Amino acid sequence: MSWMVKFQGYFFLSVAFLLGSVVPLYGNVFNFLLLAFLLLLCWKNAKQVWANIMSERLYIGVSVVFLLYFSLHTVIVLLKGNPMAKFSYGMFEVLALNFVLVPIFVVMWKDWLTPELLKRFLFYFCAGGVLLNLYILLMMTGTRLFTAPGEVLGMLYDGRFGENRFVLGGRYWLDIQAMLLAISALIAYFLTIVEKRWNKRICALCMFWMFVLFLSFTVTKSAIFGFLLGFLVMNICLFKKFSFWRRVCVFGGALSVVLAFVLLLDLEKYEERIEEMEVEIRNVREGQFVGGTLAPRLAYIKESFKHLDEFSLWGLGVTTKHRLKAWFETPDWNLEPFTNMHNAFFQYWITGGIVGLGTVLFVFFASVYRMIKRKRFSSLILAILCVFFVVSNSSATLSLANSRALMLIFFAMFYFYGDIFSRLENDLSRDKPSSI
């Protein structure tokens, strides 16, 4: 085995660990690591790099078209003069370094990715998430975690696992942390089922319960609902594939999760959140957009639809950020002047018009279309997509540097390597272990 192949494998597993741990803390810094890796590959074998890109030119081409459209839109806005708001050019970095660079990086794995190596990638991803969240837990509780666990448990639920906070010098948004905990829990659960070695199966099971507990601390409705929906979808898919005894194990695992949510969670805290939502729903029906969760998101959407003629077809382009801020400064709703919609789909519709919305929908659901076309389904892909979809409807996940690269890596993996994900469930015993 050449040194380059070994380097690719180790780099691949390092990326998995970083994605689960520190990547969501530092935003776009991770992109330059990917860029350096791609330049190394181009230097070693430019022809193979180009061949890999062309093999998946449709998926990559969609993002390239969006980048070209956004560039043309910007030129037209500049030539017209008298813009409706100040310009912000950050979207070019987003499209070039994330929407285009990330799938090119992922497609480079075609020559050496195996089911066994993919399984190790998922395991390292979960391991990184466990270590980071344990660090956050110890940072918040200190020795009280061992001397007064009951008091600490109440504090964690009251503080929602620390809200938005700085961790290791980077900003960690609670919505992003909760989303990562949800998908990590689903991956760990999946590994307990497909893993053949008992030591790794036990490790995966322990990580699963840790992720479920950490997720419960966040009291974040969208991530918890996305996890439960994905968990249900995964178990329904797996239930059809396995033998009687494995079906019993799957049913027992699902039942244990439900019981854990009932027994372990601070139900009073969740009752408070439900009551908050009920109050906000009543306020919204009465025309009063007052509250901290549901009400402002509905207000953002309603206020934006007042300006539908400005963005419905072509988008706002480079004026999006400051134009949104101007909309939300209206006194009618008493909104905070955010520069995003708290909804990934609306955000890209407003930014890029029909092209922007179409690109985001393609990125989200292209892997599902390919699975249907090839008739090779993966319960893990469907489960994680449930989490991404639910959370993206309450948070501008693809507009946040802390979550964008991670999500786009998974989307590209699902599209390019959906068959390998499917083989992990259906025929893992035939795969040869990786020598890395």
User: What is the per-residue pLDDT across 398-408, written as a single tens digit (0 to 9) for each?
Assistant: 888 888 989 99
Question: 238 in a domain, yes or no?
Answer: yes
Stretch 78-84: mean pLDDT = 79
Question: 268 in a domain, yes or no?
Answer: yes
pLDDT digit string (tens) for 29-48?
777 778 877 777 777 778 88
**For residues 388 and 187, is the Cβ–Cβ distance under 8 A?**
no
Give the total number of structural domains in the chain: 1
- CA 435 – CA 433 distance, rounded (Å): 6
Percentage of the chain modeled with pLDDT above 90? 30
Q: What is the structure's pLDDT at 289?
A: 62
Question: 324 in a domain, yes or no?
Answer: no
Q: What is the structure's pLDDT at 430?
A: 42
Question: 288 in a domain, yes or no?
Answer: no
pLDDT for 431 beyond 50 = no
Question: 139 in a domain, yes or no?
Answer: yes
For the CA atoms of the chain, what is the radius of gyration? Answer: 22
Sign of CA dihedral 1, 48, 368, 183: positive
Question: 247 in a domain, yes or no?
Answer: yes
**For residues 345 and 360, is the Cβ–Cβ distance under 8 A?**
yes
pLDDT for 140 beyond 50 = yes
Residue 187 pLDDT class (50, 70, 90 cuts): very high
Q: Specify the pTM.
A: 0.88
More confident residue, 171 or 383: 383
Question: 318 in a domain, yes or no?
Answer: no
25 burial via Cβ count (<10 Å: 0-12, 13-18, 19+): buried
Closest among 304, 284, 307, 303 to 294, alpha carbons compared: 284
As a whole number, the mean pLDDT across the chain is 82
Domain span at 81? 3-273+342-430
Question: 326 in a domain, yes or no?
Answer: no
